[in-house]
Structure 1
Amino acid sequence: MQLPELTLSRIARVRVELDPMLVLGQTPQGLRRIVPIVGGTIDGRRLRGRILSGGADWQLVHDDGTALIDTRYTAETDDGALVYLATNGVRHGPPEVLERVIAGAEVGPEEYYFRVSVRLETGDPRYSWLNRTVFVAYAARSADAVEYDLYALD
């Protein structure tokens, strides 16, 4: 059996605006950080809207600096649909690069690895395709936001 080659379709650019990080400290699982999500935008041909305040990234950081990403937040489309977004992924790189990222310096996304899978859910029938599609993204962190291009696996 021949399986098809993997292809992706770009859906939107997502910008998630962040409040300052809360550091809970070292836990048995690793360093726990919570990054509040306070707004943002989704800008694409098939999906456009704004990120609502109230979500967060519940990060777990290992001794080597690798951050496990675990976000949950809500968007409202330009035509009034509510969409739940959840990302799971990994951010890692050389220690000196990760220090610059955490300090809020401008760091090129090619200097570190930041990839996530994204699950989207909605009860709005106009966007039911979101519920049955697998999404991935290549992300970048700035001082007060995370940006990623959301891709659907075709």
Structure 2
Amino acid sequence: MTVIDQLPAAMRTIRTRPLFVLSVEVSGLHLAGGPAGAERRVGDLPGGSFTGERLSGIVLPGGTDWQTMRGDDTILLDARILLRTDDDALIAMTYTGMRHAPPEIASRIALGQEVDPASYYFRITPTFATSGPRYEWLNRIVAVGIGHRLAAGPVYSVFEIL
């Protein structure tokens, strides 16, 4: 018997529920630089949209994505955006994550070419803060997202972990 077999059934797998699909526009990258293996760049996130069964709306202008370019060709993400739901609630969304790809795939992404999302790793862990009564449950969930980089910006499938 393995260790996992000894766990209660509820602890053997992770269940998720779709939260929304988020498309974020990126209008430019500012190259701040830094020490070798930890260069920084900052992306402006002027807008976007999100759509799901329980909440939908737009990404308000003013978001940023602070990226660290590691020496192993991994990009670390640290983004902050403001969501406005279709019924005018405001939700602050912060996410960290990482993207890495084989060099030939990374080159194509950097050129704005669409590549198969299964050919690279792109994951985020968002958190939320809101006072909107209809959405206050977001303050108490853990979420994960799977990303896909398009020319205009990333698209994330975001899931609540149950």
Aligned positions of 1:61-140 closer than 5 A? 61-140=69-148
Residue of structure 1 equivalent to 2:3:
none
Structure 1 residues 9-41: Cα deviation after superposition (integer angstroms, max 9, x where no partner):
001111011102111123366111111101000
The one of 129, 148, 154 equivalent to 1:146 is 154
Residue of structure 2 equivalent to 1:46:
54
Shift of 1:72: 0.4
Give the ranges of 4+ consecutive aligned residues of structure 1 lying more than 6 Å apart after TM superposition.
none
Q: Does 1:2 align with 2:8?
A: yes
Q: Does 1:11 align with 2:19?
A: yes
For residues 31 and 96 of structure 1, the distance between their equivalents in structure 2, rounded to whole angstroms, comes to: 21
Structure 1 residues 101-129: Cα deviation after superposition (integer angstroms, max 9, x where no partner):
12211111111100010101101111011
Q: TM-score, normalised by structure 2?
A: 0.90
For residues 40 and 50 of structure 1, the distance between their equivalents in structure 2, rounded to whole angstroms, comes to: 6
For residues 14 and 28 of structure 2, the distance between their equivalents in structure 1, rounded to whole angstroms, comes to: 37
Q: Which runs of 5 or more structure 1 residues have no equivalent in the other structure?
A: none
Instruction: Give the letter for the 2:75 counterpart.
Output: A
Residue of structure 2 equivalent to 1:24:
32
Larger radius of gyration: 2
Instruction: Give the letter for the 1:39 counterpart.
Output: G
RMSD across aligned positions (CA): 1.3
Shift of 1:3: 5.4
Instruction: Give the letter for the 2:8 counterpart.
Output: Q
Say if 2:36 and 2:71, in contact at 8 Å, map to a contact too: no
Q: Secondary structure of 1:123's partner?
A: coil
Q: Secondary structure of 2:139's partner?
A: helix
For residues 142 and 33 of structure 1, the distance between their equivalents in structure 2, rounded to whole angstroms, comes to: 18
Instruction: Give the letter for the 1:40 counterpart.
Output: G
Shift of 1:58: 0.1
Instruction: Give the letter for the 2:134 counterpart.
Output: R
